[in-house]
């Protein structure tokens, strides 16, 4: 570290040594108003209140400034501010982007993970490792899983990766492009390197051969962007794991029935099963069908057992409506039996050629009034076609029974609330079968029950052969039957306990643990990745081995992960990134923190510290900051504190001709750099000064637009029609729903990035369109009205309310000339008009 | 009215110190980032973008071989197209004729454009790199398949600056039925300053440009209030800038509000098509009601905008989705004719009108789509996506009319001779505007980015 007389802070020593060398002098310290505004915006993204400023100004202690630093670092808004910036780095959004820009309703847990991690000051290497492989490194830890939202934060090409044919070449191309997004993002964000250049050829400037790039692609060979379910509570997660394990053990007895017969715990389960089965069986009533209709012209016939058989024309899709005569009394559940019949293909119970059926949705109406279904259970679910899909409101998903065709199955639907049927009530049941290709129900029968004392687990339907065993006297059962009964009873019991656990959450993340959607399905061991000549997926070369960059001097290939679950590869990469010899990890983040405070990094290109990046203005300082960051166990709060307590940070931003002549761009930091508030901070500050900011932390995103359906997957978003006083309108900007291809025009006019690529620092543009947004947008005008109202509430006189508004916005009193001009204007056009002006001032929109 | 980049740059230099990084951005917003590399022939561009993938063998790419082999199964070595398995070969259901001096084949579904062929220079074998709408539309607009890169209109505005203070430099006129595939992503500024993104104008909407007027729900806002307020703001911002010498951004903010006020005053006149004669409106077909005449009205508006100094106008035909665009998977005979009808007469009228007014002397008109379609059937009479060949054309300043470059194979399945790409077309457009496409670069995340990536050749054969 250089020694410079009169400096005690190491940061200043580095900066001043250079200033001295260049014949420059530092600037004086800024006043407290300027300092607090700067510090508050930098650390929390919020403007200070007049009260906060008064407290600081009144604090005579020599540590007054440091106290403010500590106060702001301890504020939960610190985590929000840091998360906001990290989201732009991760190019996070709440929708897929591309031509089918579908919403991602469960992306936000990653955003909340970021806020918590920053507020808890999570050690940086851990923060990095969790985002790359948290699910594998810390299984069962919900936060670590949410962290992998990083890998999925970027866009996703739904057409290319899900909808086009699996065997089309474009599918392969789309997979390479999707992995390219993950690879590029990971390396830009954590390593400050542009590896994408090596997609077509060895990197021209940095030592990144093409083989390294494809090694990285191979790391993510099985990482898909998809929704994964998880327990938000680790205790529930372990209970679930334990139950699942017992369930698996019980099922394993089928290969060795002796174990089932020897196990005492199953006896009680069998008794319970027997009892609840008798009760539930007794409670079912099979009403007489009064009416039956096929929406698409199939012929329906009622059989003597009150079941309904579908015959004749087999439509592609159908909706069957059945109307049932009820007796007076309560109804708490409805049962659907699908029954084999020799007239059906493979005996049914479906009409599809393979005997299957798909129930897309079921709807119940009691005398015309819709009944809400709470839960659905079936004795058998086709893989990925579970019974829950018949009540999910999505016509594209359904319940199926393949390959268990040729036998009866049943599904039970529990109502959210029991209802009372009158003596002439009718129950209308609508059964959508919309999958196509004749996936219709062949023969069905409906029953109702009013016994609401039975718990969901008691109702669990099971296969008819089990019912037959139960119907036999105990003595008449064979050993095999007894064993099967014990297994089923335990299955029922354990499944019942699993069902009682809290509903699992979902997070959109980089994973192979997800339910397939059509031909978009997991590749648990990774898909083959080849080195592509000239980056062309039509020209695959040799298969790539997972790995990272070879030029850093520590092992860079992970051959042992081949043939293992895909997560192993990510875990190896997480280890590589946090390797003790990887100094770049620390330098990149230290430079980001610096850039956040000075508007420009020590290296001006925070996403590229390679040869194409900028030349560092203070290379030794960057090295020192990186090593301090490392020595302090990767504490970001410590790093921020180190930077903002320097005199360099506390300088005024005033221009001096003699210094500007030598260093007009202020690369050497002879003064502070003035910065414009970024788009999100402008919006948050508007809410804040007008007294509307809703400080709620976390949660699902808020749509700041009016959404309407369109002919296409991507809905229409009207931002101008959104009510700026509407629900959720007062949340901080980082909680807004970020819609990739329909970005917020107000924030966009203020240079808010559109989440299509990693953005390390904001550009600052000035255009007539920006002026129109600032002058005319509802966000501004409504804030002006609210601010005026707030100011009038605090001081009803015109001159007084002008002064209050000035204080709230600019943290100062108006000058006599301002007071006179603004008061005159307020008398003529109202106080809101003065507020409109104040909100547009450079003084409000810039930080000195 | 129009001020050359050099003048503007000098004016700004006089107004405040140069050299700050941030000022650099402002300058780019205000004028061009570069001095033209050579004398430009084109000052403005109108791009007609046909969203969904125009069927080339049903519009401009005549294939007698397809007529011969109609209904036959031909093994092209392709397992699967994007959304279907290859069906038998399908000839175009429409009659064809040669047109103009150049004798170019055009289907009878485009009778008006057929009369313009001697003005057009065709790229007959233009290949994409993908057959998926998302990446293909990004590629056709930005030169890259992934989102996040600036589109051609943004690059041009960035490079050359604006021709007028009264209107946005880069305007997008979407189909009245909605935004195309990729939405605003196709018109984005990427890593260039946000100023350069396309300004979307909805001429039929009460709010044609967002925030052109004060939000109606703010009852206090009115014209007199706004004028007095802007004057008060100018005083405050002037004082703030005076106290902070050396920061040209603060001065630029003063100008920004003045320009906004001018745009507010003059834009409504530019959008007002009723100022056009009935004859002109009829020539475009602008009086056809609703969506049927919307593309026509947008073409007419595009002419009014370029006439008034907008540099780059993109007129879109077709919104994203399964119908009412060029993505004719189900039925070429049923789906293609209506969308052709909406576009054919207006596009031809635009060329005629530009020529009649002398605007074609420095205006370039482009016809582009994201990819072509397959020679075989999808279902019974539809066609699937085909990234391997499609047709584009150019007309106007510097362009040799009645010419063509390249061709597809006998079935129009793949580009065969003289294969071209969007990078070639972009290189050519930049060339006509005085820009060497290899020299227009911006450093972003460690790479010198270009509109043409690392590709692109100027198509000199098509130029005068």
Question: Which CATH number goes with the domain that contains B303?
Answer: 3.40.720
- Phi, psi for B72 (deg, rounded to 5): -85, 150
What does the block give as tokens for A598?
């000075």
Q: Please name the helix (run of DSSP H) or strand (run of DSSP E) that holds residue A486, with its range, or none.
A: helix A479-500
For residue A836, the chain B residues in CB contact (below 8 A) are 220-221, 229
Output DSSP code: residue A579: -
Asked if the structure places residue B253 within a domain, the reply is no
How far B17 CA sits from the closest chain A CA (Å)?
8
Asked if the structure places residue B275 within a domain, the reply is no
B positions 53-82 inside 8 Å of A (CB): 79-82
What does the block give as tokens for B287?
């009086």
Asked if the structure places residue B239 within a domain, the reply is no
The confidence score (pLDDT) of residue B18 equals: 28
CA A37 to chain centre: 32
Range of the domain at B17: 5-221+280-462
Gyration radius (Cα) of chain B, Å: 23
Q: Pick from A157, A752, A763: which is nearest to B193 by CB?
A: A763
B positions 92-151 inside 8 Å of A (CB): 129-135, 137, 145-149
How far A501 CA sits from the closest chain B CA (Å)?
41
The confidence score (pLDDT) of residue B51 equals: 97
Instruction: Name the residue with tokens 């953005």.
Output: A759
Q: How far apart are CA B295 and CA B273, in angstroms?
A: 13
- Cβ contact B53:B390 at 8 Å: yes
Chain B CB within 8 Å of residue A604 CB: yes
SS3 assignment, position A54: helix
Q: Is A763 exposed, middle or buried (0-12, 13-18, 19+ CB in 10 A)?
A: middle
Instruction: Name the residue with tokens 């409106």.
Output: B281
Nearest to A775 by CA among A807, A802, A750: A750
Sign (positive or negative) of CA dihedral B245, B249, B253, B256? positive
Asked if the structure places residue B269 within a domain, the reply is no
- Cβ contact B332:B90 at 8 Å: yes
Question: Vertex A92, ends A397 and A158: CA angle to 5°?
Answer: 35
Question: Vertex B95, ends B94 and B97: CA angle to 5°?
Answer: 135
Asked if the structure places residue B244 within a domain, the reply is no
- Cβ contact A308:A445 at 8 Å: yes
What does the block give as tokens for B323?
């119908």
**How many Cα atoms occupy the beta-carbon half-sphere of B277 within 13 Å?**
4
Asked if the structure places residue B320 within a domain, the reply is yes
- pLDDT tens by residue, A44-101: 999 999 999 999 999 999 999 999 999 999 999 999 999 999 999 999 999 999 999 9
- Cβ contact A744:B187 at 8 Å: no
A positions 88-107 inside 8 Å of B (CB): 91, 97-101
Q: How far apart are CA A605 and CA A613, in angstroms?
A: 6
What does the block give as tokens for A692?
């509307």
What does the block give as tokens for A720?
């101008």
Q: Would the CB atoms of A745 and B210 count as touching at under 8 Å?
A: yes
Q: How far apart are CA A778 and CA A773, in angstroms?
A: 9
How far A174 CA sits from the closest chain B CA (Å)?
9
Q: Please name the helix (run of DSSP H) or strand (run of DSSP E) that holds residue A823, with its range, or none.
A: helix A816-829
Gyration radius (Cα) of chain A, Å: 33
What does the block give as tokens for A528?
């083959």
Asked if the structure places residue B102 within a domain, the reply is yes
Q: Which domains does chain A possess?
A: 123-230+507-577 (no CATH), 284-461 (2.60.120), 679-847 (no CATH)
- pLDDT tens by residue, A733-782: 999 999 999 999 999 999 999 898 899 988 888 888 899 999 999 999 99
Q: Please name the helix (run of DSSP H) or strand (run of DSSP E) that holds residue B252, with its range, or none.
A: helix B248-271
Whether a cis peptide bond, with omega within 30° of 0, leads into A349 is yes
What does the block give as tokens for B197?
């993104």
Q: Is A27 left (phi over 0), alpha (psi -120 to 50) or beta?
A: beta
Contacts of A560 (CB under 8 A, 6+ apart): A572
Q: Is A148 exposed, middle or buried (0-12, 13-18, 19+ CB in 10 A)?
A: buried
Q: How far apart are CA B158 and CA B142, in angstroms?
A: 14
Q: How far apart are CA A383 and CA A389, in angstroms?
A: 12
Complex-level ipTM = 0.86
Q: Pick from A607, A711, A742: which is nearest to B183 by CB?
A: A742
For residue A773, the chain B residues in CB contact (below 8 A) are 210-211
- Cβ contact B59:B340 at 8 Å: yes
Q: Please name the helix (run of DSSP H) or strand (run of DSSP E) that holds residue B255, with its range, or none.
A: helix B248-271
Q: Please name the helix (run of DSSP H) or strand (run of DSSP E) that holds residue B140, with its range, or none.
A: helix B133-142
The confidence score (pLDDT) of residue A436 equals: 86
Asked if the structure places residue B216 within a domain, the reply is yes
Q: How far apart are CA A703 and CA A707, in angstroms?
A: 8
CA A99 to chain centre: 20
Give the C-alpha distances (Å, rounded to integers) separating A628 from A17, A69, A73, A211, A591.
19, 19, 18, 34, 12
Output DSSP code: residue B453: T
- pTM more than 0.90: no
Nearest to A351 by CA among A362, A361, A341: A341
Specify the number of domains making up chain B: 1
Give the best residue of B148, B270, B413 to mutate against chain A (max A CB count within 10 A). B148
pLDDT (tens, 9 = 90+) of chain B, 464 residues, equals: 333 333 333 333 333 322 233 333 443 344 688 889 999 999 999 999 999 999 999 999 999 999 999 999 999 999 899 999 999 999 999 999 999 999 999 999 999 999 999 999 999 999 999 999 999 999 999 999 999 999 999 999 999 998 988 899 999 999 999 999 999 999 999 999 888 999 999 887 888 888 999 999 999 999 999 999 999 999 999 999 999 998 888 988 998 999 899 999 999 999 999 999 999 999 999 999 999 999 999 999 999 999 999 999 999 999 988 888 999 999 999 999 999 999 999 999 999 999 999 999 999 999 999 999 999 999 999 999 999 999 999 999 999 999 999 999 999 999 999 999 999 999 999 999 999 999 999 988 778 899 999 999 999 999 99
CA B264 to chain centre: 24
pLDDT along chain A (848 residues), means of 10: 83 96 96 98 98 98 98 98 98 96 97 98 98 95 96 97 93 96 96 88 83 97 97 91 93 88 83 83 90 94 95 93 93 94 94 94 93 91 91 91 92 92 92 93 95 69 81 88 90 87 95 94 96 90 95 92 94 97 96 96 89 86 97 97 98 95 94 96 97 97 94 90 92 98 94 91 86 96 97 97 98 97 98 98 97
For residue B130, the chain A residues in CB contact (below 8 A) are 160, 170, 173-174
Q: How far apart are CA A740 and CA A91, in angstroms?
A: 10
3-state secondary structure A584-598: HHHHHHHHHHHHHHH
- Phi, psi for B67 (deg, rounded to 5): -65, -40
How far A715 CA sits from the closest chain B CA (Å)?
10
SS3 assignment, position B382: strand
What does the block give as tokens for A89?
């780095």
Whether a cis peptide bond, with omega within 30° of 0, leads into A33 is no
Q: How far apart are CA A253 and CA A263, in angstroms?
A: 10
Q: Number of A:B CB contacts under 8 A?
A: 326
């Amino acid at each position: 570290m250089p020694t410079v007389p009169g400096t005690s802070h190491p940061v200043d020593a580095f900066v001043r040594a250079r200033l001295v060398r260049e014949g420059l002098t530092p600037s004086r310290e800024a006043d407290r108003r300027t300092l607090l505004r700067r510090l508050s915006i930098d650390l929390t993204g919020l403007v200070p209140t007049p009260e906060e400023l008064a407290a600081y100004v009144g604090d005579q202690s020599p540590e007054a400034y440091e106290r403010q630093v500590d106060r702001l670092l301890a504020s939960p808004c610190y985590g929000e501010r840091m998360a906001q910036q990290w989201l732009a780095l991760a190019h996070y959004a709440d929708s897929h982007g591309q031509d089918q820009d579908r919403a991602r309703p469960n992306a936000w847990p990653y955003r909340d993970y970021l806020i918590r991690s920053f507020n808890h000051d999570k050690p940086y290497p851990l923060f990095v490792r969790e985002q790359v492989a948290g699910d594998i490194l810390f299984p069962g830890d919900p936060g670590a899983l949410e962290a992998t939202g990083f890998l999925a934060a970027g866009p996703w090409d739904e057409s290319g990766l899900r909808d086009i044919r699996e065997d089309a070449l474009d599918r392969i191309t789309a997979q390479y492009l999707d992995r390219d997004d993950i690879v590029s993002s990971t390396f830009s964000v954590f390593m400050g390197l542009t590896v994408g250049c090596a997609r077509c050829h060895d990197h021209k400037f940095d030592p990144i051969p093409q083989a390294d790039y494809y090694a990285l692609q191979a790391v993510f060979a099985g990482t898909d962007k998809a929704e994964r379910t998880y327990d938000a509570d680790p205790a529930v997660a372990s209970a679930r794991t334990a139950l699942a394990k017992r369930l698996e053990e019980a099922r394993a007895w089928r290969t060795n029935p002796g174990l089932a017969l020897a196990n005492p715990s199953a006896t009680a389960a069998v008794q319970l099963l027997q009892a609840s089965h008798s009760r539930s069986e007794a409670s079912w009533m099979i009403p007489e069908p009064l009416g039956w209709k096929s929406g698409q012209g199939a012929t329906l016939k009622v059989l003597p057992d009150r079941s309904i058989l579908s015959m004749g024309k087999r439509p592609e899709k159908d909706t069957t409506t059945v109307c049932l005569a009820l007796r007076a009394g309560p109804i708490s559940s409805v049962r659907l039996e699908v029954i084999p019949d020799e007239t059906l293909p493979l005996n049914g119970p479906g009409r599809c050629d393979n005997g299957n059926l798909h129930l897309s949705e079921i709807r119940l109406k009691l005398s015309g009034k819709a009944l809400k279904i709470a839960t659905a259970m079936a004795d058998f679910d086709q893989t990925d076609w579970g019974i829950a899909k018949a009540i999910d409101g999505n016509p594209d998903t359904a319940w199926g029974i393949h390959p268990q065709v040729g036998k009866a199955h049943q599904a039970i639907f529990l109502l959210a609330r029991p209802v009372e049927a009158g003596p002439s009530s009718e129950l209308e049941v609508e059964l959508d079968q919309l999958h196509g290709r004749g996936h219709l129900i062949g023969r069905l029968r409906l029953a109702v029950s009013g016994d609401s004392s039975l718990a969901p687990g008691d109702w669990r339907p099971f296969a008819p052969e089990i019912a037959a065993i139960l119907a036999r006297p105990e003595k008449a059962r064979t050993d095999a039957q007894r064993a099967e009964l014990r297994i089923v009873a335990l299955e029922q019991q354990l499944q019942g306990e699993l069902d009682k656990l809290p509903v699992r959450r979902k997070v959109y993340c980089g994973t192979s643990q997800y339910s397939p959607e059509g031909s978009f399905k997991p590749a648990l061991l990774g898909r083959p990745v080849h080195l592509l000549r000239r980056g062309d997926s039509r020209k695959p070369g040799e298969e790539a081995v997972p790995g990272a960059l070879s030029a850093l001097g520590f092992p860079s290939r992970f051959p042992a992960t081949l043939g293992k679950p895909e997560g192993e590869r990510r875990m190896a990469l997480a280890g590589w990134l946090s390797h003790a010899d990887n100094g770049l990890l620390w330098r990149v983040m230290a430079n980001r923190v610096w850039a956040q405070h000075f508007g420009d990094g020590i290296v001006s290109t925070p996403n590229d510290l390679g040869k194409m990046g900028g030349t560092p203005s203070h290379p030794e300082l960057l090295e020192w900051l990186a090593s301090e960051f490392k020595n302090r166990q990767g504490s970001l709060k410590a790093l921020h504190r180190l930077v903002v307590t320097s005199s360099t940070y506390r300088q005024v931003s005033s221009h001096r001709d003699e210094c500007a002549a030598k260093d007009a761009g202020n690369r050497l930091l002879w003064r502070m750099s003035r910065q414009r508030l970024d788009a999100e901070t402008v919006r948050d500050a508007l809410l804040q000064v007008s007294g509307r900011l809703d400080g709620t932390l976390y949660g699902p995103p808020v749509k700041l637009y009016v959404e309407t359906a369109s002919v296409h997957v991507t809905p229409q978003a009207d931002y101008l029609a959104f009510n700026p006083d509407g629900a959720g309108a007062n949340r901080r900007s980082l909680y807004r729903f970020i819609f990739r291809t329909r970005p917020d025009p107000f924030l966009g006019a203020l240079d808010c990035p559109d989440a299509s690529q990693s953005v390390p620092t904001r550009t600052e543009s000035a255009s007539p369109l920006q002026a129109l947004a600032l002058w005319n947008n509802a966000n501004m005008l409504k804030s002006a009205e609210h601010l005026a109202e707030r100011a009038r509430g605090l001081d009803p006189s015109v001159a007084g309310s002008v002064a209050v508004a000035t204080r709230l916005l600019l943290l100062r009193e108006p000058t006599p000339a301002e007071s006179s001009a603004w008061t005159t204007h307020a008398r003529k056009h109202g106080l809101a008009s003065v507020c409109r002006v104040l909100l547009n001032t450079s003084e409000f929109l810039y930080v000195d | 009215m129009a001020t050359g980049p050099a003048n503007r740059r000098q004016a700004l230099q006089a107004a405040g110190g140069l050299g700050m990084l941030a000022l650099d951005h402002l300058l780019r917003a205000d004028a061009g980032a570069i001095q033209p590399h050579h004398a430009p022939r084109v000052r403005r561009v109108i791009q007609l973008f046909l969203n969904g993938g125009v069927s080339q063998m049903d519009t401009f790419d005549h294939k007698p071989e397809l007529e011969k082999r109609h209904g036959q199964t031909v093994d092209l070595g392709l397992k699967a197209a994007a959304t279907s398995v290859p069906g038998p070969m399908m000839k175009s259901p429409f009659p064809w004729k040669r047109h103009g001096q150049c004798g170019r084949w055009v289907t009878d579904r485009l009778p008006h454009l057929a009369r313009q062929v001697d003005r057009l220079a065709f790229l007959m074998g233009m290949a994409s790199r993908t057959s998926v709408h998302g990446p293909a539309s990004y590629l056709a607009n930005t030169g890259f398949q992934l989102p996040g890169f600036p589109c051609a209109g943004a690059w041009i505005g960035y490079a050359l600056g604006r021709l007028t203070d009264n209107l946005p430099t880069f305007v997008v006129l979407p189909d009245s039925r909605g935004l195309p595939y990729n939405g605003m992503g196709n018109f984005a500024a990427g890593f260039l300053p946000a100023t350069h993104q396309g300004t979307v104008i909805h001429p039929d909407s009460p709010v044609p440009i967002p925030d052109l007027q004060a939000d109606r729900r703010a009852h206090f806002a009115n014209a007199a209030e706004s004028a007095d307020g802007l004057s008060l703001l100018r005083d405050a911002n002037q004082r703030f800038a005076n106290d902070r010498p050396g920061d040209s951004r603060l001065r630029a903010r003063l100008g920004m509000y003045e320009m906004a006020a001018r745009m507010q005053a003059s834009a409504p006149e530019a959008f007002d098509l009723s100022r056009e004669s009935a004859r002109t409106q009829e020539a475009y077909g602008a009086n056809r009601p609703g969506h049927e005449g919307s593309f026509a009205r947008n073409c007419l508006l595009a002419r009014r905008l370029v006439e008034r100094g907008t540099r780059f106008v993109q007129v879109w035909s077709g919104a994203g989705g399964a119908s009412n665009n060029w993505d004719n998977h189900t039925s070429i005979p049923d789906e293609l004719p209506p969308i052709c009808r909406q576009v054919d007469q207006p596009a031809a009228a635009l060329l005629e009108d530009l020529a009649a007014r002398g605007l074609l002397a420095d205006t370039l008109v482009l016809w582009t789509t994201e990819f072509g379609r397959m020679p075989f059937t999808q279902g019974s009479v539809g066609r699937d996506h085909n990234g391997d060949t499609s047709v584009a054309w150019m007309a106007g300043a510097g362009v040799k009319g009645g010419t063509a470059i390249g061709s597809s194979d006998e079935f129009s399945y793949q580009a065969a001779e003289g294969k071209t790409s969007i990078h070639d077309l972009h290189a050519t457009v930049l060339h006509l505007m005085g820009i060497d496409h290899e020299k227009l670069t911006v450093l972003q995340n460690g790479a010198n980015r270009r509109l043409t990536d690392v590709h692109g050749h100027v198509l000199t054969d098509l130029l005068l």
